[in-house]
A and B are shown apart, each in its own frame.
Chain A
Amino acid sequence: MATVIVITSGKGGVGKTTTCASIGAGLALQGHKTALIDFDVGLRNLDLVMGCERRVVYDLINVIQGEASLQQALIRDKRSDNLFVLPASQTRDKEALTLEGVEQVLSEMQDEFDFIICDSPAGIERGAQLAMYFADAAVIVTNPEVSSVRDSDRIIGLLQARTRAAEEGRKIPEHLLVTRYDPRRVDIGEMLSLEDVQDILAVPLLGLIPESEAVLKASNQGVPVVHDDQSDAGQAYMDAVRRLKGEEVPLRFKEMEKRGFLSRMFGGR
């Protein structure tokens, strides 16, 4: 049985797709057969971040409407044999995404995969609610910034009310992933600290991804940043993947990098 995980945030542009790509690729690197599903009908981008945009033939809605089989629509990742992407439709009407359709696709994938990661669209409309409805766990992606924290709180409210689990009286595990964290700005009181965000949202922490140049470089190339194991963001995502699997991993990248005497004397910034 696959574990279905929704990556959600409410607000757009906080790093849902980046997170989906890196958590998926990280789980695959750890040997788990993983599928990523893009629920952002009309604004698909997971294919681009995963670097498989030119291999998209069929999409989620084609599968739901029976125009293609799951096998035809799933795109195998170039780097991992056990990672697959099911893209969103770019042209079809959002109405074609139905609860029954999503349920049918997920149940068809259940026995095939260890993890199914659902990349939610921004907002709290249908697409976002369908992406979370069948989830067994949720990753809430939040930037240390007022609008992102507020929207995350709203999404947490929906997760606790509008999922199949909630309707059956169960509560799914929620994980907080704070992204674009800049310890330097936290230090000088210009950015909400990790403690502030955790205190306000009251969701257990899955990981902390520092603001990093590696993220843009990775998406430029269509390679999930988790593959860049030399980068801070890549390492932080791999830590998060390990925690998702239940491992105890110490938190890194929360403090400012210690700078040497010479770089403090002569370095910029």
Chain B
Amino acid sequence: MKFMDFFQREPKSTASVARDRLKIILAHERSFRDQPDFLPRLQQELLDVVRRYVEVEQDQVQVHLESRDTCSVLELNVTLPERDEP
């Protein structure tokens, strides 16, 4: 270590940057791991049905499957756009 480095703040090592990035991306990816294969398709088909009646964007329909002790809960969330006139 050079003499002046002693007084400067230690820069974050690249290894710790790697560790932090991995932790974030893996937490995200693991949340999708346990969901069944059909969920993305179900989401798409539900979106298509909703779109026949209202104009919604891709990300305004959320399908979530949650497993509890004895049952699984399929949650469907549709954010409807605000109506132009009352």
In whole angstroms, what is the CA distance A150 to B23 when docked?
9
Say whether B33 contacts A186, CB under 8 Å: no
A157 within 8 A of B: yes
- CB contacts under 8 Å to B, within A134-169, are 145-146, 149-150, 153-154, 157, 161
One digit per residue, 1 when the CB lies within 8 angstroms of any chain B CB and 0 when it does not, for chain A 178-196 equals 0000000010111111001
Say whether B29 contacts A153, CB under 8 Å: yes
B72 within 8 A of A: no
Q: Of A150, A190, A191, which is within 8 A of B25 by CB?
A: A150
B4 within 8 A of A: no
Contact A200:B26 (CB < 8 A) given known A146-B21, A157-B33:
yes
In whole angstroms, what is the CA distance A200 to B23 when docked?
7
B16 within 8 A of A: yes
In whole angstroms, what is the CA distance A147 to B53 when docked?
43
Say whether B26 contacts A192, CB under 8 Å: no
B14 within 8 A of A: yes
In whole angstroms, what is the CA distance A149 to B23 when docked?
10
Q: Of B13, B19, B33, which is within 8 A of A200 by CB?
A: B19
Say whether A192 contacts B30, CB under 8 Å: no
B73 within 8 A of A: no
Using CB atoms, name the residue of chain A closest to B25.
Answer: A150
CB of A132 to closest CB in B, whole Å: 16
Instruction: Kindly list chain B residues whose C-beta atoms are within 8 Å of the C-beta of A196.
Output: 15, 18-19
Contact A154:B19 (CB < 8 A) given known A189-B14, A190-B14:
no
B22 within 8 A of A: yes
Question: What total count of A-B pairs have CB within 8 Å?
Answer: 39
One digit per residue, 1 when the CB lies within 8 angstroms of any chain B CB and 0 when it does not, for chain A 187-218 equals 01111110010001000000000000000000
Say whether B14 contacts A146, CB under 8 Å: no
In whole angstroms, what is the CA distance A190 to B30 when docked?
26
Say whether B29 contacts A149, CB under 8 Å: no
In whole angstroms, what is the CA distance A161 to B32 when docked?
13
- CB contacts under 8 Å to A, within B32-85, are 33-34
Say whether A150 contacts B13, CB under 8 Å: no
Say whether B18 contacts A192, CB under 8 Å: yes
Say whether A192 contacts B19, CB under 8 Å: yes
Instruction: Kindly list chain B residues whose C-beta atoms are within 8 Å of the C-beta of A189.
Output: 13-16
CB of B36 to closest CB in A, whole Å: 10
CB of B9 to closest CB in A, whole Å: 14
In whole angstroms, what is the CA distance A186 to B13 when docked?
10
In whole angstroms, what is the CA distance A267 to B78 when docked?
67
In whole angstroms, what is the CA distance A189 to B16 when docked?
7
Say whether A192 contacts B33, CB under 8 Å: no
Contact A157:B30 (CB < 8 A) given known A189-B13, A190-B13, A200-B23:
yes
7 A-B pairs within 8 Å (CB atoms) are namely: A145-B18, A146-B18, A153-B26, A153-B29, A189-B16, A192-B19, A200-B19
Q: Which 10 A-B pairs have CB atoms at the shortest separation, nearest pair first?
A: A189-B13, A157-B33, A196-B19, A189-B15, A146-B18, A153-B26, A192-B15, A200-B22, A192-B18, A149-B22
